Structure 1
Amino acid sequence: MLGHATARQVGELYELQPAEVQERLLDAEAHGWARRPTYTDSSTWSMTDLGRQHGEQMLSDDLDAHGTRQKVEEGHRCFLPLNQRLGPLMTRWQLRPTDDDPLVFNDHLDPLYDRAILHELDRLVAELRDVMTVLAAEVPRFGVHQPRIDTALARAWDGDHRWVDSPEVAAANLVWIQLHEDLLATLGIPRGADF
């Protein structure tokens, strides 16, 4: 879900101690499920293809063991129309077309334009909250996503535009993508196959 992450970042996400996470990552490395890429900081971890397959099998087994697959599939179906609305909204946040150029970047100097988009994002996130409540009741792990999106949106409303779509922070768009990845992995759906 996080791509490349440190033990601290994983621990923060799931309220685990970094030392415990580090030990589990070392175990995963020994099984060939995780690695520390040589091209980046050695404290950063990523999953291997074998690790992704193993993790997805564990997630699938967990759904079946707890009888939650149908509810998570229903949650995913409810998520899809919301996900389809997010893309165009992020495009409108990033671009501010003119008559002369449809690809002009939004300079965020028009607060009315930005507020209109934030209001739409508020409505979308409110609808997502209903889906996430059901999903988190079935699979508590899903409960990490909504608070992170809510925090990002609140910071965007406070005037820090990075919290809408910047990859440098846990922005609303980035956390939404991570939620989507979590759903795909949990249900064993290949990326791009659920649109």
Structure 2
Amino acid sequence: MSHASSAQWCSPPGLLVLHAVRVTGLADDVAVAHRTGVDQHQVSELLQDNEAYGWVTHVGFAGTSGWTLTERGRAEDARRLAEELDKSGARATVEEAHRGFRPLNARLVRACTDWQLRPEADDRLAVNDHSDPEWDARVLDELSALAGDLRQLVGGLANALARFGGYDERFSAALARAREGQQQWVAGVGVASCHAVWMELHEDLLSTLGIARGAEPGSQ
């Protein structure tokens, strides 16, 4: 039985915590609590339970440590997401959002490439040294336009499934830092950069719909 999707669906803490680890890739208890809004003590208990079930494992490398999903954990997350999508009646909303996301994704990839590379006559792959303010301004303006599109897309998603809320705010926060001159907040790793937040939303959409990365229509 499907519920009408007119009311916002709020995911249970167990799904929020397990899915946050999947979407983030690697996250500690504090990061999961911050992302999900679930109390940190409850997050820690759930993660320990998930570890006992063999759904997550704690890893560390290069001075970073956190939880990551196992294959069993991915299967459990996929099962819960499919069940939630049916119960919430949100499938059509998420499918529509994914269709709208794909052209935006192409623009985001181009913008991040332009942030990292600035082709020259003798070198198409010349690194962008950020010495051309007009070039960088054009990229930041495109990211600002994408932020507006993202706000609309995420708003519609979050009205159906509450757990999709916040991506637009995190993207805009990263963009604001980039505009202040902190260049790593466009496409840097290790921070919640525009690119990192965008990739998480992409993974969230794909995993919610049960689409394997690389299996989207039109993907290489």
Q: Name the TM-score class by shorter chain.
A: over 0.9
Of the three residues 147, 153, 160, the one matched with 2:169 is: 147
Pair 171,39 (structure 1): closer, same or farther in 2 beyond 3 Å: closer
Counterpart position of 2:40: 18
Of the three residues 89, 100, 109, the one matched with 1:78 is: 100
Q: Percent identity?
A: 43
Of the three residues 90, 102, 106, the one matched with 2:112 is: 90
Structure number with the bigger relative contact order (C-alpha 8 A, sep ≥ 6) is: 2
Once the two structures are TM-superposed, the CA of residue 168 in structure 1 deviates from its matched residue by: 2.0
- In structure 1, distance between residues paired with 2:193 and 2:78: 25
Counterpart position of 2:151: 129
The one-letter amino acid of 1:71's match is: T
Once the two structures are TM-superposed, the CA of residue 38 in structure 1 deviates from its matched residue by: 5.9
**Aligned pair 1:111/2:133, yes or no?**
yes
Cα contact 1:132–1:146 (8 A) shared by 2: yes
Cα contact 1:36–1:42 (8 A) shared by 2: no
Of the three residues 42, 50, 58, the one matched with 1:36 is: 58
Counterpart position of 1:56: 78
**More displaced stretch, 38-47 vs 109-118:** 38-47
The one-letter amino acid of 2:187's match is: D
Once the two structures are TM-superposed, the CA of residue 39 in structure 1 deviates from its matched residue by: 4.9
Question: What value does the CA root-mean-square deviation take over the aligned residues?
Answer: 1.5
- SS of residue in 2 equivalent to 1:5: coil
Cα contact 1:56–1:188 (8 A) shared by 2: yes
Counterpart position of 2:193: 171
- In structure 2, distance between residues paired with 1:42 and 1:119: 33
Of the three residues 182, 191, 195, the one matched with 2:213 is: 191
**Deviant stretches of 4+, over 3 Å:** 38-43
- SS of residue in 1 equivalent to 2:24: coil
- In structure 2, distance between residues paired with 1:16 and 1:161: 31
Once the two structures are TM-superposed, the CA of residue 29 in structure 1 deviates from its matched residue by: 0.7
Cα contact 2:60–2:66 (8 A) shared by 1: no
- In structure 2, distance between residues paired with 1:34 and 1:62: 20
Runs of 5+ in structure 1 lacking a partner?
none
- SS of residue in 1 equivalent to 2:175: helix
Output one character per residue of 1:80-123: Cα deviation in whole Å (capped at 9) or x when no partner. Answer: 11111111111111001111111111111222110111001111
Alignment length (residue pairs):
195
Runs of 5+ in structure 2 lacking a partner?
1-22
TM-score (norm 1): 0.95
- In structure 2, distance between residues paired with 1:191 and 1:74: 18
Of the three residues 84, 88, 91, the one matched with 1:69 is: 91
- In structure 2, distance between residues paired with 1:144 and 1:101: 39
- SS of residue in 2 equivalent to 1:46: strand
Output one character per residue of 1:54-81: Cα deviation in whole Å (capped at 9) or x when no partner. Answer: 1111011111001111111111111111
- In structure 1, distance between residues paired with 2:111 and 2:198: 13
- In structure 1, distance between residues paired with 2:89 and 2:120: 52
